[in-house]
Amino acid sequence: MSWRKEERRAERGYHHGNLKEALLQAALDLIAQKGAAGFTFADAARMAGVSPAAPYRHFRDRDELLSSIAQRGFEQFEAQLAAAWDDGRPDTVTAFERVGKAYLAFARTEPAFYSAMFESGVAADSTAGLLAAGERAFGVIRAAAERLAALAPPNVPRPPALMMALHIWSMSHGVASLFARGDAARRKLPMSPEELLEAEVLIYLRGLGFTTDRRPASAAEPPPLPDDDKPAGPWGRSK
């Protein structure tokens, strides 16, 4: 494997072979290091070991590259949310909360994707492909919300399933953006973001008529809601 250390150019010859992929990966690394603002076309080329003119064979400009990254991010996001949802197994509420955790996990482990998707200034509808990818990702949350709506007690008023999905999305996004991001802008929190979001969703579901302890047999997960102002956690009394 000594060729790994050789000069890249000599190794690969004149043609790169997979430059488009390499540029996307390079840009992702750069965004992770320096933020979406401080990544340049030229830098991506350099990191891919290629002349500054080469990227123009694959992307019209920096924006198109950024938009491609956002789209790819939404595709991976969708895959991870869908895996977490697992078609509602073993039960809807458990699966639902796994989706919330997956949302936070993605924000934390893929800050570069996350900022390209939500904070880089790329408009959500800048590209048909990007728009569609974003909607497919939201589709996972929406499908879960519809399953949940079908399960909700009929005597409690509730909004349309679409609205419920938007509620869940905004809660997850709010917690993720403020407290679970993978970069320097993450705010300190006297608990884990997962705990925060889980409690939030549980209270919300209770507001929709779901009982909190829906699986009395397995008390392990999720943890019960804290029920007063004197929690065991690190933040002490709240008043």
The binding site for DNA (CB under 7 A) comprises 9, 13-19, 40-43, 46, 50-54, 56-58, 61-62
Is 105 among the residues that bind its own copies (CB under 8 A)?
Answer: no
Residue 124 touches which of its own copies, DNA, none (Cβ within 5-8 Å per kind) = its own copies
Residue 17 touches which of its own copies, DNA, none (Cβ within 5-8 Å per kind) = DNA
Q: How far is the CB of 48 from DNA (least distance, A)?
A: 9
Question: Do the beta carbons of residue 92 and residue 147 sit within 8 Å?
Answer: yes
**134 residue type, one letter:** G
Is 167 among the residues that bind its own copies (CB under 8 A)?
Answer: yes
Spatial separation of the C-alpha atoms in residues 33 and 24, rounded to whole Å: 14
Instruction: Name the residue nearer to its own copies (CB basis): 7 or 229.
Output: 229
- Classify 210 as helix, strand or coil: coil
CA angle 118, 97, 201 (to 5 degrees): 80
Is 166 among the residues that bind its own copies (CB under 8 A)?
Answer: yes
Spatial separation of the C-alpha atoms in residues 187 and 184, rounded to whole Å: 8
Residue 229 touches which of its own copies, DNA, none (Cβ within 5-8 Å per kind) = its own copies
- Which of 25, 94, 127, 177 contacts its own copies by CB under 8 A? 177
Is 199 among the residues that bind its own copies (CB under 8 A)?
Answer: yes
Q: Which residues contact 52 (CB under 8 A, 6 or more apart)?
A: 41, 42, 45, 46
